[in-house]
Structure 1
Amino acid sequence: MHKPLLVTEFLDRARTHYGDDEAVVATSGERFTYDELGERADRFAAALQERGIEKGDRVAILDPNTHYHLEAAYGIMQIGAVHTPLNYRLTPDDFEYILSDAGVDAIYADYDFAERIEAIRDEVPTETFITNDVDAVEGNWEAFDDVLESAGTEYDRPEMDEDEIITINYTSGTTGDPKGVCRTHRCETLHAYLVVAHQELADDDTYLWTLPMFHANGWGHIFAVTGIGAKHVCARGVDAGDIFEAVRDENVSYMCGAPTVLNMLVDYYDEYEPETTGDSPVRLATAGSAPPEATIRTVEEEFGWYLKHVYGATETGPLITTSDARRHFEAGSDDRFRIKKRQGLAYLGTEIRVVDEDGTDVPRDDETLGEVVVRGNQIMEKYWNKPEATEEAFSDRIEGYYHTGDLATIDENGMIAIQDRKKDIIISGGENISSIELEDALFDHPEVSDVAVIPSPSDEWGETPKAFVVPASGDPDEPGVTTDELLEFTKENLAGYKAVRRTEFVEQLPTTATGKIQKYELRQEEWEGEERMVGQG
């Protein structure tokens, strides 16, 4: 039997089986059942149709993890329109490009960000502008709640096919203009199924939204958490004290956090010693660069949380691997930290390979470097209006696999360990140096709170490692450690040629909304005036 896989079925299922159960805890403290969430989504769907939005039209959302995002997203998708979430850290120029590139017809924008849309509204094709607080926004905007109240609950749900585009997620645009990652009903649905399985979601889970909902649809959690009938706890931003309070008061059992978020939590815990759990045990998924072992140890042994390290990209679902391979480590053993720092094993139905320049699989020796390529049902369909970029992404080294641009090794069990991005690998005197390996070594120094290592121009070696260090003291002028001391520290732990020879102490590192460090900003500044970077990939 073939039954179409449609993203609308996630909310449909929750309404059928959990209609009277709490679905959402809003940032305002309001609480909504799944019946109430569903009715508000219906009203938004009806309102969009009243304003001429049809199946296939793009509707954007610019929102910091409030209940409005969930309502708008399902309202959009219920009429077959294309959910187009926006990164709230972007500039008006970025929004102008995306709204024009996608041909967005309508937008809901939170009051905190609507001014950035107002600044470019005359330059974009968008005609419908809705916000959640018109009194806080300049210009002619409609009020979300008024729109719902006047719309009613009746709308026409069109026939939909699982191979139709239902979401477009724009990449961060660190190399050129952002690209619209097109995802179908089918790949969104199957990715959500994988999240349910590998993140062990159940209907009695309470999920805390520390991860942006816009980010590849919040790692698929707007679908998975809803479909399984669990509870969403919304949060407008990432504040360590608020996170611990929500975990305790709402009995949060699952959340996500980049390594920078984990560092924030560890620092807060060290200073204030908050309670770290409510009535439920806590699982936490982290992604990006591997957290330092000391961070994982604190999270698991002092917080009492269970950490899962996952990996992927906007184009890949995003999640394609997990370090949660419990048959490869003993519970409670220090060996688990070595495994949990790896990006890990492929998700179900996902094929991960590490290949050399010729597209040949590298040996499973955990030493030979290659690019991670992937096939799976959760991989994107294409880039919006970018056929050449799509072709390159799926055919660079080997045909039919998405090329991640990440360099990794692979061990005898097929577990990958990312060593660097192609553009972040440091080539010094012909030797490849992993910036991630250097960062991991520096994290072990007690005076280092956060760090990013990039290639720096060198007349002698072409390029040499440079570390941007956030000191534990918080004061770049009084970091408590010198560059020479960090040089000797890395020499003690790594081969001499890998040692970090340049250091800049900073108050903070540039990050994305998901907490990933934006090394490209550091590289651009460091290499300004140079013709090219040796290791630019």
Structure 2
Amino acid sequence: MKVEMRTTDFLDRALDLYDDVVGVVAHDGTEYTYAEFGERVNRLSNALADHGVEQGDRVALLAPNTHYFLETLYATNQLGAVFVPMNYRLIPEEFEYILNDCAADTVIADYDYAENIEAVRDSVPAENYIGYRADDIEGDWTDYEDLLADHSAEAPERPDISEDDDASINYTSGTTGDPKGVVRTHRTEHYHSLVLNQHHEIEDDDVYLWTLPMFHCNGWGHTYSITGTGGTHVCQRTFDAEGTFRRVREYDVSFLCGAPTVLNRLIQFHENNPDTVTTGDNEVRLATAGSAPPKASLEAIEDDIGWRIIHLYGLTETAPIITSSNSPRRLAEHGRELKTFQGAETLCTDVRVVDEDGNDVPRNNRAMGEIVVKGNQVMDRYLNKEEETHEAFNARKPGYFHTGDLATWNEDGMISIQDRKKDIIISGGENVSSIEVEDVLYDHPDIAKAAVIPTPSDEWGELVTALIVTKEGADLTAEDIEAFTREHLAAYKIPRRIEFVDDLPETATGKVQKYQLREEYWEDEERLVG
């Protein structure tokens, strides 16, 4: 029997089996059972439909980790519309690009971030503007809660939704600067959640604390997994270490996620406040992705704080999880050292490390190749970018998505990322296009040459670093550069390390040899990325 896989399945199951369970705890502590949460979702669906949202339309959301983020996702998808979560750290010009690229019909925004939409409102196609706490937003916005109060809690009639219909569009930094819309179907999101459940050990008594941004590929799929399994979402608008420890104790949190910078801030807070109680009644596990945690961080989290780390790897395009080091069998054999790898392929996922000809490199933990992946959770396409989509699935090994990450692997299939083929820096869990930053730097009248590379950082994993050659007679300071880039870039893209150099190494054709530059900064590290 074939049954269509839809994102709506997850909330449907929660309502069927866990309607009286507290499903969502808002940032202010308000609790919603799944039945109450489901009614709010229905009210929003009916409101959106009343505002003309139809199947296939795009609903964009700009919000931190909130209950209404979860409500908007499910309300949009049960109408057959497409959910477009946006990174609240971007600047107005980037929102303008995204809203035009996806042709958003409706924008829902949080009161802390709506001004960035209001700034470009006349330049985007959206007709409906809904604000959470609209009274705190300048401009003409319909209040979110008023809208819900004015509409029925009865479930709307759903259209015929296919598993191959678009469910969400998640924007990720492109190597050329323009964000790329990663289109995920109901089917890819469905598989995404099932794979996540398997490797993160999610059960119906889990209490999940939202420290990972929900906009990150829909929170690595936990928007679906926690809901469908019947666990409890605890919302924390944005991360802060003290608030995290307090909520872990107050709500008996059993599971949370965090980029390396989150781990470092938790460790630092605990070191400065050693008497902090770090758990409630439940044991706590923490999933971290991307850069392998240093051994000192592993020891601090697992031995001092008392939480178990699960390490995974993936990208927005791959759902993201495609490898995991969460293997009790191998952990028993190799110990904590295993968690310094990105991990081995997840269930029903084919991950390879291949050379230029698409052949597997030897599994000797020395030979380096590009990570490619095939799986039901991998994206459908890049929105409006046919050439980039074709290249992503055909560059070295046709039929596999090419990650751009260069790695080795061992006899157990455990992958260790060493470098990147693409010009992306991952700082604090956010993708930064080095070319985008360079383009801004070259707009400065006193800069002759610029190269932007990642350099090692204990706090951020990788630091956005700018190497600058000034024009003759120019008198620039690092403060001047930072102030200039702040006018044109989101805060997390601004170079945090700025060095002035006499020249940059170039090829015969004038291309900066970034590989050589990176080697100079990473020579004492095991790999050329964080």
Normalised by the length of structure 1, the TM-score is: 0.82
Residue 236 of structure 1 aligns with which residue?
A: 237
- State the 1:326 CA deviation: 1.8
Aligned to 1:490: none
- Tell me the equivalent position of 2:373: 374
Q: Does the alignment pair 1:227 with 2:228?
A: yes
Where 2:332 maps in the other structure, the secondary structure is: coil
Match of 1:171 in 2: 172
Structure 1 pair 350–522 and aligned structure 2 pair: CA distance change class (3 A): farther
Give the 5 Å matches for 1:403-422: 403-422=402-421
Alpha-carbon distance between aligned partners in 1 of 2:285 and 2:316, rounded to the nearest angstrom: 23
Check conservation: 1:527, 1:533, Cα contact below 8 A: no
Change (3 A) 1:405 1:450: closer
CA distance in 2, matches of 1:88, 1:457: 28
After TM superposition, list the pairs within 5 Å mapping 1:60-139 onto structure 2: 60-139=60-139
Hey, what's the Cα distance between the residues in 1 that align with 2:240 and 2:466? 33
Q: What is the CA-CA distance between 1:47 and the residue it aligns to?
A: 0.5
Whether contact under 8 Å (2:407, 2:417) holds in the other structure is yes
Q: Deviations over 1:175-198 (max 9, x none)?
A: 320010001111100110111111
Measured against aligned partners, the alpha-carbon deviations of 1:194-243 in whole angstroms (never above 9, x if no partner) come to 11111000000000000011110000010000000000000011100010
Partner of 1:188: 189
The Cα of 1:156 is off from its aligned counterpart by 2.3
1:73 deviates by 0.9
Q: 1:344-385, CA deviations, whole angstroms, 9 ceiling, x for partnerless residues? A: 110101011011112111100100111100000000000011
**Structure 1 residues not aligned, in runs of 5+:** 427-434, 444-448, 460-475, 477-505
Which letter does structure 2 place at the counterpart of 1:346? E
Distance in 2, matches of 1:391 and 1:528, equals 40
Distance 2:309 2:495 in 1: 29
- Could you say if the C-alpha distance between residues 454 and 526 of structure 1 is closer, same or farther in structure 2, counting changes exceeding 3 Å? farther
Q: 1:456 to 1:210 in 2, by over 3 A?
A: closer
The one-letter code sitting in structure 1 at the alignment partner of 2:347 is L
Structure 1 residues 525 and 402, CA, compared in 2 at 3 Å: closer, same or farther?
farther
User: Whole-Å Cα distance in 2 between the matches of residues 136 and 301 of structure 1?
Assistant: 44
The Cα of 1:295 is off from its aligned counterpart by: 0.3
SS at match of 1:390: helix
Cα shift at 1:453: 6.4
**In percent, how many aligned pairs have the same letter?**
50
Post-superposition offset of 1:173: 3.6
Contact 1:457 1:527 in 2 (8 A): yes
CA apart distance, 1:393: 0.6
Distance 1:18 1:183 in 2: 27
Offset from partner CA, 1:38-91 (integer Å, 9 cap, x none):
000001110111011100000001110110111111100110000110000011
Identify the residue that residue 395 of structure 2 maps to in structure 1: 396
Say if 2:134 and 2:141, in contact at 8 Å, map to a contact too: yes
List aligned pairs for 1:249-398, cutoff 5 A.
Answer: 249-273=250-274, 274-330=276-332, 335-398=334-397
Cα distance in 2 between the residues matched to 1:397 and 1:357: 6
Q: Does structure 2 conserve the Cα–Cα contact (< 8 Å) formed by 1:276 and 1:304?
A: yes
Cα distance, 1:314 vs structure 2: 0.3
**In the alignment, is the contact (CA less than 8 A) between 2:135 and 2:143 conserved in 1?**
no
Alpha-carbon spacing, 1:454–1:371, altered in 2? closer, same or farther (3 Å): farther
Structure 2 vs 1, CA of residues 176 and 346 (structure 1 numbering), >3 Å: closer, same or farther? Answer: same
8 Å CA contact 2:221, 2:319 repeated in 1:
yes
CA–CA separation in structure 2 for the residues paired with 1:150 and 1:450 = 45
Paired AA for residue 341 in structure 2: R
Is the CA contact (8 Å cut-off) linking 1:356 and 1:370 kept in structure 2? yes
User: CA 1:58–1:417 in structure 2 vs 1: closer, same or farther (change >3 Å)?
Assistant: same
What is the CA-CA distance between 1:252 and the residue it aligns to?
0.3
In the TM superposition, residue 132 of structure 1 has moved relative to its aligned partner by: 1.0
- Equivalent residue for 1:452? 462
Q: CA deviation at 1:160?
A: 0.6
> Aligned AA for 2:14?
A
The 1-side partners of 2:193 and 2:92 are apart by 32
- The residue aligned with 1:10 is 10
Residue in 2 aligned with 1:466? none
| 1:330 CA displacement | 2.2
Kept after mapping to 1: 8 A contact 2:355/2:361: yes
Judge conservation of contact 1:455–1:535 (CA < 8 Å) in 2.
Answer: no
Q: Which amino acid aligns with 1:61?
A: L
Instruction: Indicate the RMSD between aligned Cα atoms, in angstroms.
Output: 2.7
- 4+ residue segments displaced more than 6 Å: 453-459, 522-529
Q: How many angstroms apart in 2 are the aligned matches of 1:404 and 1:350? A: 14
Evaluate the alpha carbon distance shift between residue 129 and residue 403 of structure 1 in structure 2; reply closer, same or farther with a 3 A threshold. same
Residue 423 of structure 1: how far off its partner (Å): 4.4
Is the Cα contact below 8 Å between 1:424 and 1:455 reproduced in 2?
Answer: no
Return the alpha-carbon distance in structure 2 between the equivalents of residues 184 and 527 of structure 1.
47
Displacement of 1:420 in angstroms is 1.8
Aligned to 2:474: none
| 2:466–2:499 contact (8 Å) kept in structure 1 | no
